[in-house]
Structure 1
Amino acid sequence: MLTRKQHELVCFINDRLAETGVSPSFEEMKDALDLKSKSGVHRLISALEERNFIRRLPNRARALEVLRMPERPESATGQMAAKSGPKVAASADTVSAPNTASATPASPDRIAANDVVEIPLHGRIAAGVPIEAFEGSSMLAVPAALLGTGEHYALEVSGDSMVEAGILDGDYALIRRTEIARDGEIVVALIEDSEATLKYFRREGAMVRLDPANRAYDPQRYAPAQVRVQGKLSGILRRYD
């Protein structure tokens, strides 16, 4: 069952596609649903994807496809129609049209542009000797294309132990929250509930091994009870001065 906002969003996207052939922009979706930021739109889209109402099209930045429509009460239809406003022409800041019998197909070259969302920035994380990862109140604007489903946060990388994986000092690691990891994945590992580090996660017999991506550093080995996975690497954001 969808929440009211989820229901409104999938209906609004489908209505706009029927009218114009392209999805509304993240900004238009934010305004239509009376949300404070586009990060709220991103969370709603992720929830709809997890419930198989929409999906992200592969190899196309932020392109979405409506897979099915929920049952629509007449009151919801009228409410969203009032918010949708006049028809708009296709623009760069859009997501692609759906391609199912329940929604109007669009041209395959309709793609979204550079929408951004804001995610929490939770301080610095070591890519070397573990340091404390602390909670902060600031937000980081991130291209939506770098994020998949789920809840995300960002950490600023400190150190050089992951350079051979392309993760440099000063980069922003984009992390999807999870407590589960498979061997070979890059994770945020919380050690003894006090220090956090960014490393490859591996199991070695009865131990957990955290591997760097720099030959100058040695692997770190811990008992499973000493390590808690706090998330998996989803992407890297780098700024150039």
Structure 2
Amino acid sequence: MSITRRQKEVLDFISSFVERNGYSPSFEEIAHGLSLRSLATVHKHITNLQEKGLLQREHNRSRSIDVTPPRSQSIHNSELPLLGRIAAGQPLEAVETTESISMSDIVGNREVFALQVRGDSMRDEHIVDGDYVFVERVSTAHEGDIVVALVRGSETTLKRYYVEGARVRLQPSNAEMAPIYVPASQVAIQGRVLGVMRKY
């Protein structure tokens, strides 16, 4: 990922500021620290670094400029050209576009890991043996989420998650398979599925 000398200075300044103070610098502090006269220039550098996946920002929170961890950068920066749409029904006119699709469209600024699927318990969700799922690392889930669940402290499984009183139902998406019922105290959520990738 190529960045300008000034962008590198901004990135380094933010990193060292957070390390020293435990919170992010304001635009004014960045401008003062780098002898920049215009806050608009600071904003431009921050925006460019965000677009390159090197910074993340929450617009509704002050002092919310965070340096993206290196592990996340490698997946965020993967980008492929999106050349158009392809019909899976009636043929469409072939029109090439100049768009691209990035891993950050799926991942965003979340902490994400990938797992290779073994088995066909989720085949009705079009997740089959050999696929790769992108999983957001979380410890809680909503009803119906597809989750990575640690069961009884030793077994992990990919299922839809439902709470039923004092127990959890881990529901396969395969009509030939029965749900798994486990006491809620024996289930730990390790992540929530964001997307799936298949190699042919």
Alignment TM class, shorter chain as reference: 0.5 to 0.7
* Structure 1 match to 2:93: none
- Quote the residue 1:232 is aligned against: 192
Q: How does 1:120-135 map to 2 (within 5 A)?
A: none
Change (3 A) 1:189 1:75: same
Contact in 2 for aligned 1:148/1:234 (Cα 8 Å): no
When normalised by structure 2's length, the TM-score is 0.55
The runs of 5 or more residues in structure 2 that have no matched partner are 10-14, 16-23, 37-50, 54-72, 77-101
Q: 1:214 is matched with which residue?
A: 174
Which of residues 101, 107, 119 is equivalent to 1:159? 119
The residue type equivalent to 2:170 in the other structure is: L
Give the aligned partner of residue 201 of structure 1. Answer: 161
Q: Secondary structure at 1:216's aligned position in 2?
A: coil
Residue in 2 that maps onto 1:83? none
Deviation at 1:73, TM superposition (A): 3.3
> Which protein is bigger by CA-based radius of gyration?
2
Mapped to 2, the partners of 1:28 and 1:77 lie a distance apart of 23
Residue of structure 1 equivalent to 2:146: 186
Structure 1 residue 28 corresponds to structure 2 residue 9: no
Matched residue type, 2:2: E
C-alpha distance 77-184 of structure 1, shift in aligned 2 (>3 A) = farther
Shift in alpha-carbon separation, 1:239–1:227, aligned structure 2, 3 A: same
Partner of 1:118: 75
The answer to whether the Cα contact below 8 Å between 1:191 and 1:228 also exists between their aligned partners in 2 is yes
Question: 2:46 matched to which residue of 1?
Answer: none
Q: Tell which has more relative contact order, 1 or 2 (C-alpha 8 A, sep 6+).
A: 1
AA partner of residue 173 (structure 1): V
> What is the CA RMSD across the aligned residues, in angstroms?
3.1
- Residue-by-residue CA offset, 1:74-103 (whole Å, 9 max, x unaligned): 33356xxxxxxxxxxxxxx979xxxxxxxx
Secondary structure of 1:118's aligned partner: helix
TM-superposed deviation, 1:206: 1.7
Alignment partner of 2:2: what SS? Answer: helix
- Structure 1: gaps of 5 or more residues: 1-26, 35-43, 45-52, 54-68, 79-92, 96-115, 120-141
State whether residues 191 and 227 of structure 1, in contact with CA within 8 Å, keep that contact through their aligned partners in structure 2.
Answer: yes
8 Å CA contact retained: 1:208, 1:224: yes
Specify which of 75, 78, 85 is matched with residue 33 of structure 2.
75
Whether the 8 Å contact between 1:117 and 1:144 is mirrored in structure 2 is: no
Residues 19-39 of structure 1, C-alpha deviation per residue, up to 9 Å, x if partnerless? xxxxxxxx23498539xxxxx
For 2:170 and 2:4, how far apart are their aligned partners in 1?
Answer: 41
Distance verdict in 2 for CA 1:77–1:216, change over 3 Å: farther
CA distance in 2, matches of 1:161, 1:29: 44
| Distance of 1:157 and 1:30 partners within structure 2 | 40
Q: Answer yes or no: is 1:143 the counterpart of 2:103.
A: yes
AA of the residue aligned to 2:193: L
